[in-house]
Structure 1
Amino acid sequence: MADVDALDGQKPQRRNRSLAIALAVGIVVVLGGGLVASRLSPPEQDLSIPPGADPAPDLQPPAAAAGSPAAAVGPPFVTAVSENGRYFVDQYGQPVAVRGDSPWSLMTDLAPGEVETYLANRADHGVNSLIVSLIGAVANGGPADDGSTFDGIAPFVDGDLVTWNEAYFDRAHDYLQMAADRGMTVFLYPIDGWTVDHAVVPESIGQCAEYGQKVGERFADLANLVWMTGGDYFPITNEPADGSDVDHCFDAMLRGIRAAGSTAPFSIQLGYEKSVSTDNPYWARRVDWNFAYSYYPTYRAVLDAYGWSPAVPAVFGEGNFERENNQADSPPTTNETLRRQVLWALTSGAAGEFYGSDDWEFQDGWAGRLDTDAVRQISDLRDLFAGLRWWDLVPDEDSALVTAGRGEQVRDDTPMDVLDSDYVTAARTPDGTLAVVYVPTARTITLDLGRLDPAVSATWIDPASGTAHPVAVASSLRPPGTNDDGDEDWLLLLSTSQVPG
């Protein structure tokens, strides 16, 4: 969702590129309460709890559920983590892949009828997950930094975090229920990195916990929530393992939600240009799954997230959005960029992924931009994987399956546009009955067929059209040519089962 500062008359985007300048300055000032304010981080993410303020209450919350889904009623939602830690399960105990979109400012920018328009469209495209901020700020796409909606409904009375304007939270509940009715899990940010020190100004860590408990109680009847915090979040502290005041507030909020009885999974979104939740030592022991965030070639962040031990689900939570590119001096985001993000993620161990567009803040005319070629292509690719045993796929990190022709893998955080990497990613099931290989540019790849069941058949899938091109199984294979968009990326499916669709 990040973007450069406003250019050519466009309004400023939520993720301000002035941070890149701040990152180069590095003047650090130590504040009270162990917090370090710095021009290395966005000033709106600073929070200094007054000395002597009440600490968080001694809450004894239930742990997040793992392999213990909620009551089996209604459409399937993300409700728990699988027993092996690799993916999410729904309330029926079945694997559920995240097929997401990122309408960050839905709560504050849209009227009820507009929410219904958006949700109906996304349901038609198979979207089952949404990223949404509960409280608005100008930087997360909302109309005002006090959290007010487009029609002037503020969340808090006189800015008091725990004195609520019931009309705001009644509407929020209605919107979340509308998403539930459409079968959508909402990855909800009760506090994010843009509302801190704006709409959210707690007087104590204890007040953060009280707010979290109120959130948990207000939405306790909804089965379609996953808890999030952070968001372009750069913790400001000299001791990352100990956490900053903002970290402590986020954590107290979660403990309040847990005290209200919620066992829904939780994670944090850290900062760009690349991060995974477990990068931060304070949060690594607190998150239930890894939010992989990257504007660079997607597989690197997802493989890093997948490699965390003990295993937790890795989800590609954010990268380049349609009609945005957050890499200076890089080419525009294309359909191929978006396809690569999805397919690199799903062949690198991801339990799902989120798409996003420049309309995360619902700019004028957004409803006319809901149906694009990119949205259709992503929907088709998600449908393809839905017909596979995607939850059993293991990344081919040791090149046991694809032994040659892989290209050059990005192994560090060197800045690079998505389209500048040519690396082939692959994953297969341990029994060898299924493998998927994503080939981003034209070349011949070499396969070790001994890693596969002898009964597998081979099919090239055009990721732009979804068209299947069966071929004879061989140890050396090359994509058929350019795909329907005139690009060179293809997906190879090796399976003992019929091709989905």
Structure 2
Amino acid sequence: MTIKHSTKAPTRRVGRRLRLLALGIVGVLYLSGLASAASAGSPTVVKSYVTGISSNGRYFVDQTGAPILVKGDSPWAMFPDLSPTQVESWAANREGHGVNAAIVALIGSTTNGGPSDDGATYDGILPFVGGNITNWNETYWARMDNYLTILKDHGITAFLYPMDGWNTLPGAVFHGKSNADSYTYGQKVATRYASYPNIVWMAGGDYNGYDSTINGEFQNLLAGIRSTGNTRPFSTQLNDETLSTDVSTYEALVNWNFAYTYTPTYQKVLKGYKRPAGSRDPRPVMFSEGNYEGEHIHGSGTTTNETLRRQQLWALTSGSPGEFAGSSDWQFNAGWETRLDTVWITQMQKNRDFFASLNWQQLVPDDSVPLVTAGRGTKLTTDSTLDILQNDYVTAAQTPDKSQTVVYVPTNTGNTNARTITLDLSRLPATYTATWVDPTNATSTQPATINATGNVTTPGLHTDGTRDWLLAIRG
């Protein structure tokens, strides 16, 4: 269910998350540190971090300017909830699963999964002296330094919320703070972490976007960050079923669009991808929040692995330059350590690896001039609430030179039979290889036969009883 909101406060979803270009000095400092380590004889592994946005505005780049596919997780409450040893354990595990980005709050509150509304950690360390957000408790911030360093060492960029919607609520640490203090706080955060290469700035978090006081805090937080010369990418997360640009205040501020939806993800991602070109567009639109593993889909039942695959693969074939996943352990429930290695996590990783093997940054969504001409199901075109499993629309993307095409064919609604889709053969290269890829492991493949009329039919069931498939066509 959804708790309805007024125009004066952020909202939360029950059972859910109750919840700028830095290619200059940051990259130089980091790479020079690597060089120093190498000269001392220490083995080095160059990690890539999200530091900027591509020149065409469609994807993210790392500190060298190379494309970086975002492979995210959402450990929202990790910093206030976990010990340094636990953060190290989480980061090592996620690096092993290919995760290179993490959504995380810098300051906790009870509504974003933290132990208390004053921002204290699990062991009682407060971030501020007397609740003054410009008077910092060094013990707390030294721990945050350590946590961000741990993420850096494991190749994970923190999509970091110095202030989120939940800790601006009444009783929480940022509630009603002045614009001047928010500006100073932003300056202090940016200055402290100027040399860290692994930070993308965030604000909001299930926030309705229309509270003038909270907007003032967020705007001045960002202004304080920018006053230091820090140009790392910034975005805002609004309430569910939104893009960041849906609220004019943030349309003018965000460098990329945070797509937040529990419904078929292609709809929201395509909406952001197709925004008219302008002074700030194109800008990346990335699926960043949706159904979490182990939680409910609009109260209709627990998410399945296909639920999670659909929202991932719909997004990646609709222009999203990566995506974030999450689980019910975003607030680190008891026993979370035993749930780090699930079937879904393995599927998620393998599907990400499959897309990383493509020229994913060149893929253009198959929308206005369709490659898939028949058999693709009903396209969702509005913001209507719809269970992921109630729609079976086929999405696709292709590189401009036609050398790579990927089509996602979900299980048909009802799971009654195989699906036949029709392709426009003129949109394929003169010679090609077509392969069905099993998205339950993304390594099992079989040949795909496209007949003279462009028809191609999905293979049979997977071992879990589902029948969604990826069609890969390479010229």
Distance 1:398 1:165 in 2: 54
Instruction: Name structure 1 gaps, 5 residues minimum.
Output: 5-16, 27-35, 43-63, 238-243, 497-501
Contact 1:396 1:427 in 2 (8 A): yes
2:243 is the counterpart of 1:294: no
Instruction: Name structure 2 gaps, 5 residues minimum.
Output: 13-19, 32-45, 412-417
TM-score normalised by length of structure 1? 0.85
Match of 1:468 among 445, 452, 457: 445
Q: Cα deviations across residues 235-292 of structure 1 (Å, max 9, x unaligned)?
A: 235xxxxxx12112101101111122321100000001x0011111111011000000
Q: Cα deviations across residues 172-216 of structure 1 (Å, max 9, x unaligned)?
A: 111001000001100000000001141113542011000000000
Contact 2:297 2:387 in 1 (8 A): no
Match of 1:266 among 222, 234, 259: 234
Give the aligned residue type for 2:273.
Answer: Y
Contact 1:186 1:226 in 2 (8 A): yes
Residue range with higher mean Cα deviation, 451-460 or 314-323? 451-460
Match of 1:385 among 350, 355, 375: 355
Distance change (3 Å), C-alpha of 1:173 and 1:69: closer
Q: Cα deviations across residues 391-435 of structure 1 (Å, max 9, x unaligned)?
A: 000001125200101100111011110011010001101111111
- Equivalent residue number for residue 222 of structure 1: 196
- Equivalent residue number for residue 142 of structure 2: 170
Distance 1:393 1:376 in 2: 24
Contact 2:77 2:112 in 1 (8 A): yes
Distance 1:173 1:342 in 2: 32
Give the aligned residue type for 2:217.
Answer: C
2:457 is the counterpart of 1:483: no
- Equivalent residue number for residue 103 of structure 2: 131
Report percent identity of matched pairs.
49
Give the aligned residue type for 2:447.
Answer: P
- Equivalent residue number for residue 92 of structure 2: 120
Q: CA deviation at 1:312?
A: 0.4
Alignment of 1:20-419 (within 5 A): 20=4, 23=5, 37=8, 64-65=20-21, 70-71=26-27, 73=31, 74-197=46-169, 198-201=172-175, 203-237=177-211, 244-272=212-240, 274-309=241-276, 310-328=281-299, 330-419=300-389
Distance 2:142 2:321 in 1: 32
SS of corresponding position for 1:278:
helix
Distance 2:146 2:340 in 1: 22
Distance 1:463 1:326 in 2: 21
Distance 1:68 1:438 in 2: 38
Q: CA deviation at 1:68?
A: 7.1
Contact 2:191 2:228 in 1 (8 A): yes
Q: Cα deviations across residues 84-105 of structure 1 (Å, max 9, x unaligned)?
A: 0000010111100110000001
SS of corresponding position for 2:27:
coil
Q: Cα deviations across residues 341-399 of structure 1 (Å, max 9, x unaligned)?
A: 11000000001100100000000000000000000000000000011000000001125
Q: CA deviation at 1:455?
A: 2.1
SS of corresponding position for 1:427:
strand
Match of 1:455 among 431, 439, 447: 431
Q: CA deviation at 1:465?
A: 2.4
Distance 1:333 1:69 in 2: 43
SS of corresponding position for 1:95:
coil
Contact 1:161 1:202 in 2 (8 A): no
Q: Cα deviations across residues 8-38 of structure 1 (Å, max 9, x unaligned)?
A: xxxxxxxxx4x23xx4xx6xxxxxxxxx637
Q: CA deviation at 1:164?
A: 0.7
- Equivalent residue number for residue 37 of structure 2: none
Give the aligned residue type for 1:457.
Answer: T
Distance 2:314 2:8 in 1: 37
Q: CA deviation at 1:326?
A: 4.4
Distance 2:363 2:208 in 1: 33
SS of corresponding position for 1:179:
helix
- Equivalent residue number for residue 397 of structure 2: 427
Give the aligned residue type for 2:174.
Answer: V
Distance 2:368 2:23 in 1: 29
Residue range with higher mean Cα deviation, 396-405 or 336-345? 396-405
SS of corresponding position for 1:96:
coil
Task: Name segments (4+ residues, structure 1) moved above 6 Å.
Answer: 66-69
Distance change (3 Å), C-alpha of 1:289 and 1:480: same
SS of corresponding position for 1:75:
coil
2:409 is the counterpart of 1:439: yes
Q: CA deviation at 1:483?
A: 2.0
Indicate the RMSD between aligned Cα atoms, in angstroms.
Answer: 1.7
Distance 2:25 2:339 in 1: 36
Distance 2:188 2:394 in 1: 47
TM-score normalised by length of structure 2? 0.89
Distance change (3 Å), C-alpha of 1:163 and 1:248: same
